[in-house]
Chain A
Amino acid sequence: MADLIRLTAAELAAEIAAGSVSSVEVTEAHLARVEAVDEKVHAFLHVDREGALAQARAVDERRAAGERLGPLAGVPLALKDIFTTEGVPTTVGSKILQGWIPPYDATVTRRLKEAGVVILGKTNMDEFAMGSSTENSAFGPTGNPWDLTRVPGGSGGGSAASLASFQAPLAIGTDTGGSIRQPAAVTGTVGVKPTYGGVSRYGMVAFSSSLDQGGPCARTVLDAALLHEVIAGHDPLDSTSIDAPVPDVVEAARNGSVAGLRIGVVREFRGEGYQAGVLQRFDESVALLRELGAEVVEVSCPSFDLALAAYYLIAPSECSSNLARFDAMRYGLRIGDDGTRSAEEVTSLTREAGFGPEVKRRVMLGTYALSSGYYDAYYGSAQKVRTLVARDFERAFADVHVLVSPTTPTTAFPIGERADDPMAMYRADLCTIPVNLAGNAAMSLPCGLAPEDGLPVGLQIIAPAMADDRLYRVGAAVEAAFQARWGHPIIEEVPAL
């Protein structure tokens, strides 16, 4: 059998179902890979070797007992450390949750377990998902498998890097402003932000409640769809979860096509700050879509220019409130509790020591934006921009089926390059943020390597809310066409570690 770690999730599931390989063997192969390379990559914060093998054994036993297994049963996965896992540490990349072992599973975690997906461990991330490089993790940065001196994107850099370094065939991310798509783009993998409300947020530690959305990460469009199907669907524990059937994403991924579709290119997503090689690969993608039978038109979404500013008011505002619960009273880190200090002092010392600089920056920003006298000017105005962004999308989707853009203006930047320049860092999410503001669905998939640096470039496909299947239909067509052109999946060009 081919090297197990190089197979796709769909292939692994088929082999396991056929009995040609056991889930334990597959899991052990991936654990061995983690053992071998993760010291360099640092994709994982916690590897749950015993838990993973136990899950794998359970799947093998169910198969041996003749049970019909789900389409991803026995396949290993890397879970972003933002989802609670009963009995397994959950840190959100922060020191503030040091020592906390969640007493409950997130809905996503529960669904993965029920589907027989084997959770290898928890992946590194920017603290509380705030960042675009994974450098804001309290536990050190993650390297991009294409070049370990560069960032793997963020906040879900650990999940994306685990895929690109073949430590896991599947991963889960969360996307508040691009944290699934931007890491996917810069690591040459596939990442999907489902429609807001498509995947339950229960047990997903909140950064910005109205923007956060969990989603699938994989190396192929079909694998992402299979994972999407496992984790999506209505959850009574999340009031914002959509109570409607999940679009048939797997069918769409198996039947990729753009014939007869109208596709919009967003005029605002190019210009200053966009790397030439990124735009070149994007333009080639647009040409490819035409060749495949799509009608491509240019659309204008003028309010997108304001999206970044609005996002950096809304997300910090919500996070200032969401992160208030980390007060040293009930769980996690507690500093200064020596019997001489008040609860208020202990809370203050703990937050001072437990939160990193980017988290503090956003908590302060949000606290300020929500304070009386400033609320209307900041939070209020940002909400108005949000409405405008949603209207721009609505207008565009009245005309086209999907929109396309580069996922991110540049390829992976060197670790440390933007660490002291928050604005430069924030611009990495220029093309992804409007989607979160409107609650639409979007995918990033590889569209080649930038000629100037040989690093992956991502193509973003955006669909209206509840039309997630369009991402997969278009994505699968693009993926197949590019692979035919390249002769192999781009991920195979990733250097050996």
Chain B
Amino acid sequence: MTVTELVSYEDALASYDPVMGLEVHVELGTKTKMFCGCATTLGADPNAQTCPTCLGLPGALPVVNAVGVESAIRIGLALNCEIAEWCRFARKNYFYPDMPKNFQTSQYDEPIAFNGYLDVQLADGEIFRVGIERAHMEEDTGKSTHVGGATGRIHGASHSLLDYNRAGIPLIEIVTRPIEGAGARAPEVARAYVAELRELIRALGVSEARMEMGQLRCDVNLSLRPHGREAFGTRSETKNVNSLRSVERAVRFEVQRHAAVLDAGGTIVQETRHFHEENGTTTSGRVKEEAEDYRYFPEPDLVPVAPSREWVEELRAGLPELPLARRNRLREEWGISAHEMQSVLNAGAVELIVATVEAGAEPAAARKWWMGELARRANEQGVELAALPITPARVARVTALVAEGALNDKLARQAIEGVLAGEGDPDAVVEKRGLRIVSDEGALGKAVDEAIEANAAVADKVRAGKVAAAGALVGAVMKATRGQADAARARQLILERLGVAE
């Protein structure tokens, strides 16, 4: 079915209630793979990090990575899940060349963690609770590179190259319960959920969860139902939506597309869809005419995983403060609104500000620089804030120089520019560029005298009591000192010289 015109988002929401299901795959940052001892570092030569087990050679057998299991349990606990007392791996059988054994070692009806939730905070501070159905352990596949075609897709390719370095890297798949009741905020909820999950994974230290590196991958399932109906509509499954913005856009687009199909009297096809970053649309992938039959059965090559209750409690006790609670604490400490905190989170600035404050900066000053000047520069360069070549300690030093009056804002920006340009630490930049505020009474006094002399008419107005006109004289002093004067002190001196009081 071709849909020529989307229904506007508002109209779609007027008629339908969206229901979402989000499936997130997190690639764990373990040193070795899930079932063998191969390294997991990125960027190695193709197939350099493989062995008989992860290549699926005849006779090779898997052995479970204990750190992988521990990470899965910690994720489960952080998601308020129950942890299975006994569970097994299962084989998910399907053929694909980048899957060495032609079955994926996964979990089926006995996930390691189940029945949890994650609270996510929306921009206005509202908390939305997302139910977690399960989190289970599995292994990643290899990577196919299709050569010779125009698009990098298999269609039209002359051949494909296979790299099994990724095959067997541990994954945790986290599946939500159907997310209902988000209404018009569904795209925002989806985005906030993935963002919160990412924060959680990072706080646990189990993965860097960098979406652009494929370390956190999201599938968005969406269906619409007319308002007031219990039963879910048919869903579409949009695969590999790999940025927070894309998650939000994919939900929004699918709401509009489903509404258009339904409004036109059509039926939604249960299918896999591809998301296109460039225009925010989705297109049909393969149609699932019948549910794929993966012929799951318990993996006979592995023994069951039976984490003792003592161990689970030990892991629970060792969990770090979770991101939402921590943000709320920081929000109070920093004295900012939920909305402002959300902006800080979205900018990826929480840890940077925390580190800057730890390095001695005032929270307000730290936030101002990271969310202002530095955010602007990161944005200009199209990089993450954390990727800027400046450390929180150096930002803290800049704020200290401002606080002690050695720099004003304009000079501080130049100091930061110097640091980013690789000219050294803030003190070195100030020294080299000669940025220090002119507070030397002699030099400042001379500049003040010259400004009064050169602007006699203005000086007269001030003498006549029009104190506001002194601003022009301050401006002249600042200009003469190339902005390096302490403006407040200059004003004081001008008024003194002209014999007027504030």
By a beta-carbon cutoff of 8 Å, the part of chain A in contact with chain B is 83-84, 90, 92, 97, 100, 102-104, 106, 201-206, 208-210, 236-240, 317-318, 320-321, 324-327, 329-331, 339, 343-344, 347, 367, 370-372, 375, 379
Contacts A324-B102, A327-B102, A370-B297; is A103 near B57 (CB within 8 Å)? yes
CB-CB under 8 A from B58, the residues of chain A are 84, 90, 92, 97, 100, 102, 205-206, 325-326, 331
Q: Bound complex: CA of A27 vs CA of B203, how far in Å?
A: 63
Let me know if B314 is at the binding interface, CB within 8 A.
no
Nearest neighbor of B89 in chain A, beta-carbon distance: A239
Let me know if B315 is at the binding interface, CB within 8 A.
no
Nearest neighbor of A327 in chain B, beta-carbon distance: B102
Encode B49-68 as 1/0 by CB contact (under 8 A) with A.
Answer: 00010011111111110000
CB-CB under 8 A from A209, the residues of chain B are 300-301
Cross-chain contact B64 with A239 (CB below 8 angstroms): yes
Cross-chain contact B59 with A347 (CB below 8 angstroms): no
Least CB distance from A170 to B in Å reads 21
Cross-chain contact B59 with A205 (CB below 8 angstroms): yes
CB-CB under 8 A from A371, the residues of chain B are 293, 295
By a beta-carbon cutoff of 8 Å, the part of chain B in contact with chain A is 52, 55-64, 91, 93, 95, 97, 100-103, 158-160, 162, 291, 293, 295-297, 300-303
What are 6 inter-chain pairs, A to B, with CB distance below 8 A? A103-B52, A104-B60, A203-B60, A318-B297, A320-B295, A326-B58
Does more than half of chain A's interface fall in helix, strand or loop, or is it mixed? loop
Least CB distance from A127 to B in Å reads 13
Does more than half of chain B's interface fall in helix, strand or loop, or is it mixed? loop
Contacts A343-B97, A375-B297; is A325 near B56 (CB within 8 Å)? yes
8 closest A-B pairs by beta carbon, nearest first, are A324-B102, A209-B300, A370-B295, A210-B300, A203-B59, A205-B58, A325-B56, A84-B59
Least CB distance from A322 to B in Å reads 8
Least CB distance from B12 to A in Å reads 34
Least CB distance from A324 to B in Å reads 4
CB-CB under 8 A from B57, the residues of chain A are 84, 102-104, 330-331
Cross-chain contact A321 with B100 (CB below 8 angstroms): no
Least CB distance from A269 to B in Å reads 27
Nearest neighbor of B98 in chain A, beta-carbon distance: A329
Q: Bound complex: CA of A347 vs CA of B158, how far in Å?
A: 17
Q: Tell me which of B59, B101, B303 contacts A324 (CB under 8 A).
A: B101
Least CB distance from B489 to A in Å reads 74
CB-CB under 8 A from B61, the residues of chain A are 201-202, 237-239
Cross-chain contact B55 with A330 (CB below 8 angstroms): yes
Cross-chain contact B95 with A324 (CB below 8 angstroms): yes
Cross-chain contact B55 with A240 (CB below 8 angstroms): no
Cross-chain contact A239 with B101 (CB below 8 angstroms): no
Least CB distance from B297 to A in Å reads 6
Least CB distance from B411 to A in Å reads 63
Q: Bound complex: CA of A324 vs CA of B104, how far in Å?
A: 11
Q: Bound complex: CA of A83 vs CA of B57, how far in Å?
A: 12
Q: Bound complex: CA of A372 vs CA of B302, how far in Å?
A: 23
Cross-chain contact A240 with B301 (CB below 8 angstroms): yes
Q: Bound complex: CA of A100 vs CA of B162, how far in Å?
A: 19
Residue of B56, B59, B95 contacting most chain A CB atoms (<10 Å)? B59
Cross-chain contact A239 with B301 (CB below 8 angstroms): yes
CB-CB under 8 A from B301, the residues of chain A are 206, 209, 239-240
Contacts A339-B158, A371-B295; is A327 near B95 (CB within 8 Å)? yes
Q: Bound complex: CA of A205 vs CA of B101, how far in Å?
A: 13
